[in-house]
Structure 1
Amino acid sequence: MAAPGSGAGAASGGAGCSGGGAGAGAGAGSGSAGLGGRLPSRVLELVFSYLELSELRSCALVCKHWYRCLHGDENSEVWRSLCARSLAEEALRTDILCNLPSYKAKVRAFQHAFSTNDCSRNVYIKKNGFTLHRNPIAQSTDGARTKIGFSEGRHAWEVWWEGPLGTVAVIGIATKRAPMQCQGYVALLGSDDQSWGWNLVDNNLLHNGEVNGSFPQCNNAPKYQVRNCFQLWAFVQSHLNLF
């Protein structure tokens, strides 16, 4: 499955399977930052194009001129260079990010994709940086969280399976304390009070080990088709998830 994410921690997007957010906001100070505040935008772009994302965030706080230089054009050389350094060529060449209009949006999506360090031992993230692959381990349910969690704000992810769903296929939200692996074929997300999930196989909405309804609420709900795209929205302060 692949999951570009965006949005702006506590809760993180996740996915679990078995048998088969732009978080970087920055304020700008009112100072001129001395000589740096008077440098032409083109010169600043050239300098910024060698910096990493964490350094760019710090630069955006220096003065309004630097902030505008960084965030005024999402397809500037700064974001093109960072995109080329951060993302795998495969991710840029295929259609994974085709609906994202700018280099900055692509970098943001990568920052909010699945984490290689926060997933079941039975899954791995492919070289493109976005696609989660589950090894065919019998009697195991496995999941992964995204790289960045949130304690506030509104955030969205898109998730799609590249093949059949398998026995259980759940997308949803989980805190850091929610398990990402368990024995047997169960709906891992939504199995405790630390996660909320939507099982795409039977359309059940899950939390704390209980079914809290179904979605969509209609007779003869449409069946999953390969590469159907699902959107997951999290409104953190409102304690609301939308699919």
Structure 2
Amino acid sequence: MTAPSFKRILLKLSGEVLMGSGQFGIDPATCDRVATEVKEAVETGLEVCMVVGGGNIFRGLAGAAQGFDRASADYMGMLATVMNALAMQNAMEKIGVQTRVQSAIPMASVCEPYVRRRAERHMEKGRVVIFAAGTGLPFFTTDTTAALRAAEMNCDALFKGTSVDGIYDADPKKVPTAKRYDSLSYDRVLADNLKVMDASAVALCRDNNIPIVVFNIRDEGNLSAVLRGEGASTIVQNETIDA
């Protein structure tokens, strides 16, 4: 890999990514593959922090729809993200990547509490920091958490690993003729209600001028390729020409 154009990034993964080809739960092989790609990025000198969702274990909105109190369901989803964070920590430390998990909900027996300045020091020392338990509050998604932590950590970009290779004007799985964008403005994403991230997350990135890079994390080696500027992706940023 050549040196990336960013010094510090936040990598946002959906919990579903960790399922691999399964229907639920955590696939160790997928965790190992993602960990290897993160290690390659760190070895270039890039500082990396991460947010992982919990949808492979429990999703707050889905739980609320089934009769759970929304706040309780969201807290359950936050705890699911801690499990995913610990799984990713295990996968990375097996291959020699120093990793720290910081939780917005204190649980000292398994991970550190979230402390912004401590997280920054970890990254400066080459450690990967995984932020777990969302914001620690219900009614906020892990997309919003990712945007918030990216702003707090002064990240140069937020990389969102998904199951598609960018942002489309329609669901490419349902509309074969859907158009993929190479670049978009934040305002276009919000105005067209493009379902890449929650509106609050996009607005937060816009207000802090943090580019959002959307790419397919399921394709092996794609994180490294996108960091080199070679892989397929869509970048959302200020004052860009939509194309």
Specify if TM > 0.5. no
Q: Which has the higher strand share?
A: 1
Choose 1 or 2 for highest CA Rg: 1
TM-score computed with the length of structure 2 as normaliser = 0.25
Q: Which has the higher helix share?
A: 2
TM-score computed with the length of structure 1 as normaliser = 0.25
Structure scoring higher RCO (CA < 8 A, sep ≥ 6) equals: 1
